[in-house]
Amino acid sequence: MQRAIALVDCNNFYVSCERLFQPKLEGKPVVVLSNNDGCVVSCSREIKELGIKIGTPWFQLRDIARQYGIVSFSSNYTLYADLSNRVMSLLSQFSPDQEVYSIDESFLDLTGIPGRHGDYGQQIRVTIRRCVGIPVCIGIAPSKTLAKLANHIAKKQTMYRGVCNFNAMVAAELDSLLSGIEVGEVWGIGRRITSRLKMMGIHTVLDLKRAPAKRIRAEFGVVTERTAAELNGECCLELEGVTSPRQQIICSRSFGSLLSSLSDLEQAVIAYVSRAAEKLRSERSVAGGIQVYIRTNPHRERDPQYRQSILMALSSPTDNTRLLCHAALTGLRQIYRTGFSYQKAGVMLTEILPASARPRSLFDDIDAQQRSASLMSTLDRINRRMGSGTMQLLGEGLRKDWAMKRGSLSQRCTTEWGELPSVQALVECRNGKRHE
């Protein structure tokens, strides 16, 4: 039986989330910005039509934004994560085998599901739109890589009405579609490989599909070889149903303004370690090492530049925020240099293993460990219930001059009682939808 893998991808996901509660923004140019309102990370169709690309620094768009009345939002991850969960949970009802690939994408295995998969795809679209309000497009194909491309076409070519099924096409039709797509659009073919492929005369997806496997292997390695095989309909990448525990947890951020004092950096590092440790405990894991790094702003070429990182081993793997902070601060003091303006710091938890597999030592202080575990779980419970950051280490500081800028943040409409939309706003939402 032919494999049928569907890729469901939300359209301009962050922008769609914002529009959901402000339907008057339908048809208007809207962008969502990264942390610190730095770069564009999601943009509406109207923005793409203006030639603006994802990743463009926002300050470079100030003039054009005024000219075209662009509406901008700071990123509201609480809102996006909640709406994503709703989409994913609905999608899980359409297939026994789902891989949630990212916040706005999910693979579904449709192999063996009876009926025409194109119709099934339309049914999925309508359901997501009606129940959550987010528009999605769907690509269906025998491999994940081809499903990605089918999705790309479903988004670009309106004649497919949001669902493109490669499995329903004859070979010549498919090849003609593939010959019209640049090779850089392929999942797994990034900027570097694209330019090297082009030097070899491989420009389109069809060119890569037809390239000799041995040559691709020799030039680019096993990963790209697999990608090419997937283009030929060979399914090399299986769906990964259960998410395996992470191997590293990173928390890093640029500061709202440049920092130079060690004490400011210490506050930020304590805050980042706290976030990372919270994630670690939520996965019931412990970490054996913690890496800290700091850097100046590489874009300010005239300023003296410095970047350094250090990996600290822990005497025994732990999930305790205070122990992790102690290691991180020891490291930070070793790499800190005076005379620089720092723009960013980060911490990375490594050597992660399940808490149940933590090695025991003869010298473990069982009492102290139990007290620490109970302190941490109380901390997490309070912050889950009362909101993140309700209870924190004093070392994070209270003023947080370094905290990131989020100038145009929307409400957390679906997760905070205090930020629920008013009845009137909801009526406006509904009326807005009717006009579509």
Partner DNA sequence: TCTGGGGTCCTAGGACCC
Residues that bind DNA (CB under 7 A): 34-36, 38-39, 41, 55, 57, 59, 101-105, 148, 186-194, 221-223, 246-254, 258, 275, 279, 297, 299-300, 311, 343-344, 346, 404
Q: Which residue, 305, 406, 284, is CA-closest to 355?
A: 284
- Using the minimum distance from each CB to DNA, give the nearer residue, 208 or 429: 208
Q: Which residue, 142, 150, 148, 162, is CA-closest to 105?
A: 148
- Using the minimum distance from each CB to DNA, give the nearer residue, 194 or 369: 194
Provide the minimum distance between the beta carbon of 334 and DNA in the complex, in angstroms, as a whole number. 14
What percent of the chain is helix, strand and coil (3-state, nearest 5)? 45, 20, 35
CA 373 to chain centre: 30
- Using the minimum distance from each CB to DNA, give the nearer residue, 132 or 429: 132
Say if strands 163-165 and 136-141 run parallel, antiparallel, or are unpaired: parallel
- Using the minimum distance from each CB to DNA, give the nearer residue, 196 or 322: 196
**Which residues have C-beta within 8 Å of that of residue 142, sequence separation ≥ 6?**
2, 3, 4, 5, 166, 167, 233, 235
Provide the minimum distance between the beta carbon of 222 and DNA in the complex, in angstroms, as a whole number. 4
- Using the minimum distance from each CB to DNA, give the nearer residue, 17 or 249: 249
Provide the minimum distance between the beta carbon of 217 and DNA in the complex, in angstroms, as a whole number. 8
**Which residues have C-beta within 8 Å of that of residue 207, sequence separation ≥ 6?**
183, 197, 201
Provide the minimum distance between the beta carbon of 257 and DNA in the complex, in angstroms, as a whole number. 8
Q: How many CB atoms lie within 10 A of CB 374?
A: 10
Q: Which residue matches tokens 């990264």?
A: 34
Provide the minimum distance between the beta carbon of 173 and DNA in the complex, in angstroms, as a whole number. 24
Q: How many residues does the chain have?
A: 436
Provide the minimum distance between the beta carbon of 349 and DNA in the complex, in angstroms, as a whole number. 8
- Using the minimum distance from each CB to DNA, give the nearer residue, 200 or 258: 258
